[in-house]
């Protein structure tokens, strides 16, 4: 794969993450002034999940502790994260050096957390996230190295 195509793929991935997190934040705002615990229980039952299992239990416990102020705070955090991802995607698509650095550093930031998560809860999703992040960091380092060798600073 041509290196430029790889950077464009990373830009598309970052844009998708930004849009997804923005949608999740807006979804959270729809829970304002509602009985979030009841909504959580209906979701668990709708998907035929066992509320006593680990992840549904965590989800229900979190729903039980979700207040309107926490919803707003989480939605604001989601908006901030989404804005950073969308700006990064734009910068990568436009061949901006700062976006290449941002992509390499943010990807590298998550790797230790993913490795730690793998030690306790190894899943295909966690393995996939780790592999994708390692590939993104390697690609961005190659792009940065290549630019440095060409004298683009």
Q: How confident is the model at residue 2 (pLDDT cuts 50, 70, 90)?
A: confident
The token duo for 37 is 């615990």
Identify the residue with better confidence: 117 or 148. Answer: 117
Over residues 124-145, the pLDDT tens digits come to 999 999 999 999 999 999 999 9
Residues with Cβ within 8 Å of residue 125, at least 6 apart in sequence? none
In the chain, the number of structural domains is 1
Alpha-carbon distance of 54 to 64, in angstroms, equals 15
Residue span of the structural domain in which 86 resides: 3-31+66-149
Say how far apart CA 25 and CA 79 lie, in whole Å.
7
Q: Is 116 contained in some domain?
A: yes
Query: 70 is written with which tokens?
Result: 């926490």
Of 67, 46, 39, 44, nearest to 54 by C-alpha is 44
Identify whether 43 is part of a domain. Answer: no
Q: Is the residue at 48 inside a domain?
A: no
Residue pLDDT, tens place only, 56-104? 999 999 998 899 999 999 999 999 999 999 999 999 999 999 999 999 9
| pLDDT tens readout for residues 35-69 | 998 899 999 999 999 989 988 999 999 998 899 99
């Amino acid at each position: 794969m041509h290196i430029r195509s790889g950077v464009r793929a990373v830009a598309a991935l970052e844009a998708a993450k930004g849009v997804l997190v923005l949608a999740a934040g807006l979804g959270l705002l729809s829970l304002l002034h509602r009985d979030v615990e009841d909504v959580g229980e209906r979701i668990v039952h709708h998907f035929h999940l066992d509320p006593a299992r680990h992840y549904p239990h965590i989800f229900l416990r979190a729903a039980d502790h979700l207040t309107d102020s926490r919803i707003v705070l989480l939605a604001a955090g989601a908006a901030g994260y989404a804005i950073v991802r969308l700006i990064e995607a734009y910068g990568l698509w436009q061949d901006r050096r700062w976006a290449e650095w941002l992509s390499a550093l943010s990807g590298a930031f998550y790797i230790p957390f993913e490795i730690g998560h793998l030690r306790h809860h190894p899943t295909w999703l966690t393995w996939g996230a780790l592999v994708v992040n390692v590939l993104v960091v390697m690609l961005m380092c190659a792009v940065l190295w290549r630019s440095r060798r060409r004298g683009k600073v």
